[in-house]
Amino acid sequence: MFGFFKKRDQFLSGEELSRLSQAACAEVREKWLHFHNTVHLKAELPLAQKIDLFAQPLSQFFQQKYPQLLLGGSELFWLTTFTAILESGTHPKDEVNAAVAQLRHENGGKR
């Protein structure tokens, strides 16, 4: 009735959180590389828009596979996504940073 016996979400240790974050980043990086190499968008489309298109289906995947990383909000999702794209080497660091800044501006600093 009041949920007293309902199993609560377990919080991860720092080591477990680090391991899970690294796994998520590696998987997102592979997904970005696949997206970048197989989805052919107009060349003039800004990187920020490409990232936004990529992030839409990725967020559902992230919620299903890495829900523990989302317990504190969406910041870790975006940090993982941006880091994976940067580490992929598909775009120079300055271009990725500019896209991140543009996405943050467009979304009121929420990304």
pTM: 0.83
With respect to residue 85, please indicate whether it lies within any of the assigned structural domains.
yes
Q: Phi and psi of 74, rounded to 5°?
A: -90, -5
Domain count of the fold of the chain = 1
With respect to residue 98, please indicate whether it lies within any of the assigned structural domains.
yes
Closest CA to 48 of 98, 108, 109, 107: 98
With respect to residue 92, please indicate whether it lies within any of the assigned structural domains.
yes
The region, left, alpha or beta by phi > 0 then psi within -120 to 50, assigned to residue 3 is left
Q: What is the pLDDT along the chain (111 residues), one digit of tens a residue?
A: 454 454 445 666 889 889 999 999 999 999 999 999 999 889 899 999 999 999 999 999 999 999 999 887 889 999 999 999 999 999 999 999 999 999 998 877 655
With respect to residue 9, please indicate whether it lies within any of the assigned structural domains.
no
Domain boundaries, position 61: 18-36+45-106
With respect to residue 2, please indicate whether it lies within any of the assigned structural domains.
no
With respect to residue 5, please indicate whether it lies within any of the assigned structural domains.
no
With respect to residue 53, please indicate whether it lies within any of the assigned structural domains.
yes
